[in-house]
Amino acid sequence: MSLGKIIALTALKKNYAVTWFPSYGAEVRGGTAHCFVIIASSQIASPLIDIPDVGILFNHPSVEKFAKTFGPSSLVILNKDMCVRPSSAFAVSPVLSPLNSIALEQGSIKTANIVALGILCARLPRLLDAACAETVLRAYFPPEKHETNLRSFRRGMEEAHTDARR
């Protein structure tokens, strides 16, 4: 949910129209949750999405639930530390990244979502500006969490460039 809010706030900084639509599972804590973020240059008619342009999947239950919703031109970032990828699960080849491992290297597994944000900003720089994202991260988190989150974000940007060279 935090990642969705941060993406939405980053897009708002660039004057896009934005919706953030959270969905929590039946479990209160520790269960599955997801959110939809729509970013557009004009008014948004509905917060619902049929075929997402972008997806970030952190675990295998998310793969099982959402893999078939992506189209062949979608950008899918997959946390390869937590996802078992069936060969026919996606219509597109996902970006496989060890989000948990990278976050742990930066000092906190809780920043796996911020690593994903870095990858997303590097992959879609016209939509999500890295400088705006860093500004949002500083405003979103308390000062004692800035260093770890910014380091994780920048490492995610590096990961996107490393992945592109593979």
Q: What are phi and psi of 73, to 5 degrees?
A: -105, 5
Contacts of residue 125, Cβ cutoff 8 Å, sequence gap at least 6: none
47 vs 144 pLDDT, higher one:
144
Q: What are phi and psi of 23, to 5 degrees?
A: -145, 115
Domain residue ranges in the chain: 50-165
Q: How far apart are CA 111 and CA 153, in angstroms?
A: 8
Q: Which neighbouring-strand residues pair with 34?
A: 23
Identify the three-state secondary structure at position 50.
coil
DSSP letter at 46 equals -
Which CATH superfamily hosts domain 50-165? Answer: Pyruvate-ferredoxin oxidoreductase, PFOR, domain III (3.40.920.10)
Among 8-17, 62-71, 110-119, 121-130, name the one with the lowest average pLDDT: 62-71
Helix axes 146-165, 130-140, angle to 10 degrees: 150
pLDDT at 68 exceeding the cut of 70: yes
Q: Which neighbouring-strand residues pair with 23?
A: 34
- Other Cβ atoms within 10 Å of 159 Cβ, number: 21
Instruction: Tell me the whole-structure pTM to 2 decimals.
Output: 0.91
pLDDT at 31 exceeding the cut of 70: no
Contacts of residue 93, Cβ cutoff 8 Å, sequence gap at least 6: none
Q: Which helix (H) or strand (E) holds 120?
A: helix 112-123
> Which of the four pLDDT bands, split at 50, 70 and 90, describes residue 86?
low
